[in-house]
Chains A and B, each alone.
Chain A
Amino acid sequence: MPAALTSTRHRVEDPGDAIEFCFQQGWSDGLPVVPPTEARVRAMLEAARLEPKQEIGFITHRAVSITAEKVAINAVMAGCLPAYLPVVVAAVEGIADPGFSYHGPGTSTAGAGVLVIVNGPIARELDVNAGDSLFGPGWRANLTIGRAVRLVMRNVCGSRPGTLDRGTLGHPGRLSYVIAENEADSPWTPLHVERGFRPEQSTVTVMAAEGPRQFYNQLSNTAEGVLTTLADDMRISGNVMGQPHYCVVLAGEHMRTIAGGGWDKQRIRQFLWEHTHNTHAHLRRTQRMSGAPEPGDETRLRPLLRSPDDILVVAAGGRAGAFSCYIPGWSSVKSSQAVTKEVKR
């Protein structure tokens, strides 16, 4: 006999009413949801072999326990297939990790989304897009996994816009913000292997993040040329004074150009760190650092990033097009760190 589902039950007449009822209860992100019936929720839990009461995460700041049952209900509503649940669960484990420090990204006026990067075999098994139209739309796994994470944040953690979630602007990635690394075509060490996992393990990396910013370099055929453009674009971006994480997503053409020059991810990170310093004089003149420029400020440098290691480099995006992007992290690395969790199956 399977364990009982203990969530409160609500009765409605038909599927149309169910969708409308979910809107009325404030359970939706603004789009229609799949009605969370017991049969659908059970199928989710069985696919991930989870007991309903199992605690997936505990948000210390809010004293909220996130159970498998609640994650499964929200995953159903988001439109996930049951096979996606282990990925959703790993992402929820990530945002509940003390390193991610949920309360900031889940509430802040700076309006972070949760960037979810999927690595390892499960990305290909579930068809998590790593290629054309990377940030969507078009792929069920990408759209619904991220949507499920945001619904958990809304319905379980209490991050509702205008109340606990005080994002001033937010961004479209807060609906869903899931990508996979293009490990099949990438010449580089995958992100999860750099972060201590084996290639055959599947992982989810979560990073509190602003929206993606595309940069153009359709001119250069060298690594240094492409990365010089990128660094110039990055230098004044995001929380310039905060020193957050950055995620750099290098798409097909740029990936091949940079790798063709023999550059690995470590060298890319080092170059970007070195070439994104700002002078104190510029920061003061542009009102990012307080006070008027002082003697020596024209040559005194402040790095955009605390360390080269705070940059996540991911190979992903379409094969054609000399575009890539960078994603400024929320706030600062001191406030929220990117976290990688294994997808357990």
Chain B
Amino acid sequence: MIELLDPTVEVTTRPITYVDRPRSLEGKRIGLIENTKFNSDRLLAKIGDILKAEYGAAEWRMFRKHNSSVPAHDEIIQELSKSCDVMVAGIGD
């Protein structure tokens, strides 16, 4: 009999706390995180418009990251937390 040690990560020592999702977007202020990839601003603006027209969101604002591979910088996070209720972020090619 041989005993093997599991090579995969089993716990994260610093769990992430997520805010609860809102039940509705009615009257919510939307933050859009633009990651600088080509056309991502156009795609996000379209999403923002749909969230306003079809889901009753109050407004949207767009925030531009330094580039697609790095986390949103502190200024964006601070501004988002003050001026937005929900945010949309993503990545694609």
When the two chains form their complex, are residues B15 and A63 in contact, meaning their CB atoms are under 8 A apart?
yes
When the two chains form their complex, are residues B2 and A35 in contact, meaning their CB atoms are under 8 A apart?
yes
When the two chains form their complex, are residues B8 and A22 in contact, meaning their CB atoms are under 8 A apart?
no
When the two chains form their complex, are residues B1 and A38 in contact, meaning their CB atoms are under 8 A apart?
no
What sequence of 0s and 1s flags, for each residue 1-13 of chain B, a beta carbon within 8 Å of any chain A beta carbon? 1111111111011
Q: Say what secondary structure dominates the interface of chain A.
A: mixed
When the two chains form their complex, are residues B4 and A37 in contact, meaning their CB atoms are under 8 A apart?
yes
Assembled-state Cα–Cα distance A36/B71 (Å): 35
Q: How far is the CB of B76 from chain A (nearest CB, A)?
A: 15
When the two chains form their complex, are residues B4 and A335 in contact, meaning their CB atoms are under 8 A apart?
no
Q: How far is the CB of A35 from chain B (nearest CB, A)?
A: 6
Q: Which of A59-111 contact B (CB under 8 A)?
A: 60-61, 63-66, 69-70, 73-74, 77, 101, 103-104, 108-109
Assembled-state Cα–Cα distance A12/B16 (Å): 35
A7 in contact (CB, < 8 A): yes
Assembled-state Cα–Cα distance A36/B4 (Å): 5
When the two chains form their complex, are residues A331 and B69 in contact, meaning their CB atoms are under 8 A apart?
yes
Closest to B14 in A: A63
Q: Which of B13-58 contact A (CB under 8 A)?
A: 13-16
A5 in contact (CB, < 8 A): yes
Checking A18, A64, A69, A151 against B2 with a beta-carbon cut-off of 8 angstroms, the contacting residue is A18
What sequence of 0s and 1s flags, for each residue 194-205 of chain A, a beta carbon within 8 Å of any chain B beta carbon? 000000000000
When the two chains form their complex, are residues A109 and B93 in contact, meaning their CB atoms are under 8 A apart?
yes
When the two chains form their complex, are residues B6 and A9 in contact, meaning their CB atoms are under 8 A apart?
yes
When the two chains form their complex, are residues A63 and B4 in contact, meaning their CB atoms are under 8 A apart?
no
**Given A11-B1, A18-B2, A58-B14, A155 contacting B67 (CB threshold 8 A):** no
Assembled-state Cα–Cα distance A64/B68 (Å): 20
Q: Say what secondary structure dominates the interface of chain B.
A: loop
Determine which residue in B6, B7, B66 has the highest number of CB atoms from chain A within 10 A of its CB, and name it. B7
When the two chains form their complex, are residues B8 and A101 in contact, meaning their CB atoms are under 8 A apart?
no
Closest to A62 in B: B12
When the two chains form their complex, are residues B69 and A335 in contact, meaning their CB atoms are under 8 A apart?
yes
A294 in contact (CB, < 8 A): no
When the two chains form their complex, are residues B2 and A14 in contact, meaning their CB atoms are under 8 A apart?
yes
B89 in contact (CB, < 8 A): no
When the two chains form their complex, are residues A73 and B7 in contact, meaning their CB atoms are under 8 A apart?
yes
Q: Which of A1-58 contact B (CB under 8 A)?
A: 5, 7-15, 17-18, 21-22, 27, 35-38, 41, 55, 58
Q: Which of A150-166 contact B (CB under 8 A)?
A: 151, 155-158
Determine which residue in B2, B4, B71 has the highest number of CB atoms from chain A within 10 A of its CB, and name it. B4
Set of chain A residues within 8 Å of B6, measured between Cβ atoms = 7-10, 73
Q: Which of A114-166 contact B (CB under 8 A)?
A: 151, 155-158
Assembled-state Cα–Cα distance A60/B12 (Å): 11
Closest to A9 in B: B3
Assembled-state Cα–Cα distance A268/B16 (Å): 46
8 pairs from A and B in contact (CB 8 Å cutoff): A10-B3, A10-B6, A13-B2, A63-B12, A64-B9, A103-B69, A104-B69, A334-B67
